[in-house]
Amino acid sequence: MTSIYNKLPMLFVLIVLILLTSCTKPPIGEIPVSTTQPPIDPQIDNTSTTAPEELVEEIFTCLPGVIPGKTTRAEITQLMGEPATTELAEDGTEFLYYKSAVEEVPDFIQIRQDVAEVVSALNRDAQVNLASITEKFGEPEQITYSYFSQGAYTYLYPQKGFALIGEPEGGQVYWLECFISMTLEDYLAGLGSSLPSENPYIR
């Protein structure tokens, strides 16, 4: 007579196999950064368990490993070390500045209640360009002018949790800003409140 205990090893293997085949989504940090993936429907699927900021993570990261709304200050310093400079606002918001390839454009993290709220940095991936962004996320909710450089514009995807500064004729993306997704109105009233309404460049 065969005891059920004799079948346990086989059952264990079966359960493991079932689990492996059903697990189609690897951890976010392991998803390769690529612009060669097939286009994603720009309309966010409400049934998906993937948060909008994680969709952003699938195509680019403002700063690798730092996810607005998720990553804590301790995790940030563990990942990136101590910031070069910090500032503390009256409301308790903390601003962390890290050195970047261009000293005057530091990597930036805004911390509220011990969690990253806003992350911005120069685009460090040449594969991330306006064409790949549009392919992945569709047209921006709004395009505004930018103070970054002559010919640059700010492309707003607030509901998808990011904005970027790019240059349409050359197609390059210069600077990225990631944040907890919000409405366009909220973005323009807050993070984007200083964006120029007219082209600041006259030559």
Could you say whether residue 98 binds other proteins (CB under 8 A)?
no
Part of the chain binding other proteins (CB under 8 A), chosen from 1-9, 33-41, 72-80, 140-148: 140-148
Integer Cα distance of 66 and 4 in angstroms: 48
Nearer to other proteins, 141 or 174 (CB): 174
Tell me how far, at minimum, the Cβ of 127 lies from other proteins, in Å: 13
Could you say whether residue 90 binds other proteins (CB under 8 A)?
no
- HEC secondary structure over the chain: CCCHHHHHHHHHHHHHHHHHHHCCCCCHHHCCCCCCCCCCCCCCCCCCCCCHHHHHHHHCCCCCCCCCCCCEHHHHHHHHCCCCEEEECCCCCEEEEECCCCCCCCEEEEEECCEEEEEEEECCCCCCEHHHHHHHHCCCCEEEECCCCCCCEEEEEHHHCEEEEEECCCCEEEEEEEECCCCHHHHHHCCCCCCCCCCCCCC
149, 183, 186, 189: residue in contact with other proteins (rule CB under 8 A): 149
Could you say whether residue 174 binds other proteins (CB under 8 A)?
yes
Tell me how far, at minimum, the Cβ of 199 lies from other proteins, in Å: 6
Nearer to other proteins, 10 or 126 (CB): 126
Nearer to other proteins, 4 or 160 (CB): 160
Part of the chain binding other proteins (CB under 8 A), chosen from 34-42, 43-51, 68-76, 147-155: 147-155
Helix axes 52-59, 130-137, angle to 10 degrees: 140
Q: Convert residues 3-22 into a mask of x (bound to other proteins by CB under 8 A) and - (unbound).
A: --------------------
Could you say whether residue 96 binds other proteins (CB under 8 A)?
no
By CB under 8 A, how many residues form the interface with other proteins?
Answer: 42
Nearer to other proteins, 23 or 101 (CB): 101
Part of the chain binding other proteins (CB under 8 A), chosen from 18-26, 36-44, 71-79, 160-168: 160-168
Which residues, including other chains, have CB under 8 Å from residue 177's CB and lie 6 or more apart?
62, 118, 119, 120, 162, 163, 164, 191
Q: Which residues bind other proteins (CB under 8 A)?
A: 85, 95, 101-106, 108, 110, 120, 122-123, 126, 143, 146-154, 165, 167-170, 172, 174-175, 177, 191-192, 194-195, 199-203
